[in-house]
Amino acid sequence: AYPDNISWTEVDEKGNLISYGNIPMPELASGSKDKKEYFRWHYAHEIVKIAKEKGKAIVIEELEIKEKGKRGDFSGKKSRRIRHNFSYKSLLKKIKVLARREGIEVIEVNPAYTSIIGMLKYAPHYMITKDVAAAYVIARKGLGLQEKIPDNYVKFLNTLTVKELEELKEYVKKTVRNKYLKKKHLKEIKKAIEILQSLGSEPGRVLEPLDGTSFSTYDFWRVLKVAVVTPLSPEKVPRGFSVLKGLLIQGKWRDP
């Protein structure tokens, strides 16, 4: 993730993954202002060069988040990063300038939930990193595609109970040592419980609102993240998500 590296993906007109890569950017992690500025131009050139060679438009995260009260990922990391990280915004602006010179279209999309959707839906399916998976979701957003929750995840959500989330809450209290991270997890679990309680116990409670990208759909992605990612590695974000493949593809899951 920025500033250490930036991930990219190439998709076809239907949103299928064609190729992907990662560009290390060690020079942006430290050094003088002038040095960082030079290398931001350098890496912007690299990104635009890839797009030109492949004959594709470039899809990036929106430079300005218009709805300040509406966060992207559950933690709000992406929204805060784009608003406050001058360096990241500067890189995106340079990409836009260079792309315009080359006649390459630049499409800006809302980064809401790209990390969560990427790690849950595409990282385990394609065996790619969460950063590449997030870049893939951004590329698909550029095509106007909607991210439907996979059927086996829907089945999992329809059997998930408040009791299981309450048990997860106790598990986090006992195992997570970092106070900040523990507070964050407990807040996410509390929100997930509220979402489940609001749905009630109706059969097929999750089946209806999943075709679009409405706020309710994002709610379900939130619950999924809490229910399947938190038990796997409550003290840090997992490096890989291959363990989710059994649930995603076969509908098989283990108890936390």
pLDDT digits (tens, 9 = 90+) for 130-160: 999 999 999 999 999 989 888 888 888 888 8
- CATH number, domain of 56, equals 3.30.420
pLDDT digits (tens, 9 = 90+) for 26-36: 988 888 889 99
Residue 86 lies in a domain: yes
156 and 183 part of one domain: yes
Residue 59 lies in a domain: yes
124 and 172 part of one domain: no
Residue 51 pLDDT greater than 80, yes or no: yes
Instruction: Kindly report the pTM of this predicted structure.
Output: 0.82
Any idea which residue has 């489940």 for tokens?
Answer: 196
Distance CA 106, CA 59 (A): 6
Residue 255 lies in a domain: no
138 and 47 part of one domain: yes
159 and 129 part of one domain: no
Buried b or exposed e, range 193-226, using 16+ CB within 10 angstroms: bebbeebeeeeeebeeebeebeeebbbbbbbbbb
Residue 204 lies in a domain: yes
9 and 136 part of one domain: yes
Residue 106 lies in a domain: yes
pLDDT digits (tens, 9 = 90+) for 185-228: 999 999 999 988 887 655 445 544 444 444 467 888 989 999 98
The last residue of one of the domains, among 142, 165, 188, is 142
73 and 174 part of one domain: no
Residue 36 lies in a domain: yes
Residue 256 lies in a domain: no
16 and 86 part of one domain: yes
Least confident of 169-173, 210-214, 247-251: 210-214
44 and 138 part of one domain: yes
Expressed as residue numbers, the domain containing 103 is: 5-142
135 and 13 part of one domain: yes
The last residue of one of the domains, among 142, 164, 180, is 142
Query: How many domains does the chain contain in total?
Result: 2
The last residue of one of the domains, among 142, 174, 194, is 142
Distance CA 25, CA 190 (A): 37
159 and 124 part of one domain: no
Among 157, 154, 126, smallest CA distance to 20 is for 126
